[in-house]
Structure 1
Amino acid sequence: MASGVAAVWVPVSDMQRAVTFYRDTLGLTVASEDDEWSEIDANGLRIGLNGRESASPSSGGGAVVSFQPDGSIEDEVADLRSKGVEFAGDVSEHPWGKIVPFQDSEGNDLQLYAPPQG
């Protein structure tokens, strides 16, 4: 039986570009860095950047890594846009929270998620 998530990993084509994106654009901490495998600390969850498997832009479906913004989701979108991140659309609001999708430097699907205001 699973007791939790140990890590999430995503394939990358260019390790340095991917590390730069997660560190400089998203503001996360690089826990370890290598040509074939690097780890990013996302507030206790390890995101592995796997250079051993080929990355290709998503064709829909598959895993999505959701990040919780430090402040409002709208402020985070504005900050990421200023760093060159392109969003597929605007923030959408649902009964279970707000989301806005984007991709990392390697074409992996990411999103910002904010739970509903209680």
Structure 2
Amino acid sequence: MASGVATVWLPVKDMKRALSFYGDTLGLEVKKETDEWSELDANGLMIGLNARESSGADGSGGALLTFQPDGGIEDEVSRLRGEGVSFVGDISDHPWGRIATFKDSEGNDLQVYEPPSA
């Protein structure tokens, strides 16, 4: 089960342009900035800007909700598959954590996220 929303992230094609829009135009505070991943504070909600990794989301654009499961990511992926949920690829490993992308009932991309182990 999901314990809450871990983040909302948006796929971006041009990180500098996106940071200018969200930071300068909208006035959100930039908390982290890299070429591949940046984070903004939206009144306590972290918004991530993702430079469209090749695995995971299909790259068609749009916001993505990322949920943090109560247990491990493998258990949650297994549970969701048992409920008939269809995943887009396998669990992907990154220095900042692990993700698995799936579709909701309407075809929107969602993810489960597991932070890196300490």
1: CA distance, partners of 2:77 / 2:70: 11
Q: Where does structure 1 differ by over 6 angstroms across 4 or more consecutive aligned residues?
A: none
- For residue 65 of structure 1, what is the aligned residue in structure 2? 65
- For residue 88 of structure 1, what is the aligned residue in structure 2? 88
Q: Structure 2: any 5+ residue segments left out of the alignment? A: 1-26, 28-41, 46-57
Say whether residues 1:99 and 2:99 are aligned partners: yes
TM-score between the two structures when normalised by the length of structure 1:
0.52
SS class of match (1:75): helix
CA-based RMSD:
1.7
TM-score between the two structures when normalised by the length of structure 2:
0.52
Say whether residues 1:3 and 2:43 are aligned partners: yes
The correspondence of residues 1-118 of structure 1 with structure 2, limited to 5 A, is 2-5=42-45, 60-118=60-118
Q: Structure 1: any 5+ residue segments left out of the alignment? A: 6-57
Instruction: Give the superposition deviation at 1:59.
Output: 6.3
- For residue 30 of structure 2, what is the aligned residue in structure 1? none
Q: Which string of whole-angstrom CA distances, capped at 9 and with x for unpartnered residues, describes residues 12-31 of structure 1?
A: xxxxxxxxxxxxxxxxxxxx
Percentage identity across paired residues of the two chains: 61
SS class of match (1:91): strand
- For residue 53 of structure 2, what is the aligned residue in structure 1? none
2: CA distance, partners of 1:90 / 1:3: 33
2: CA distance, partners of 1:116 / 1:59: 24
2: CA distance, partners of 1:3 / 1:72: 28
* Amino acid paired to 2:62: G
2: CA distance, partners of 1:98 / 1:59: 18
* Amino acid paired to 1:111: Q
- Greater strand proportion: 2
1: CA distance, partners of 2:89 / 2:106: 19
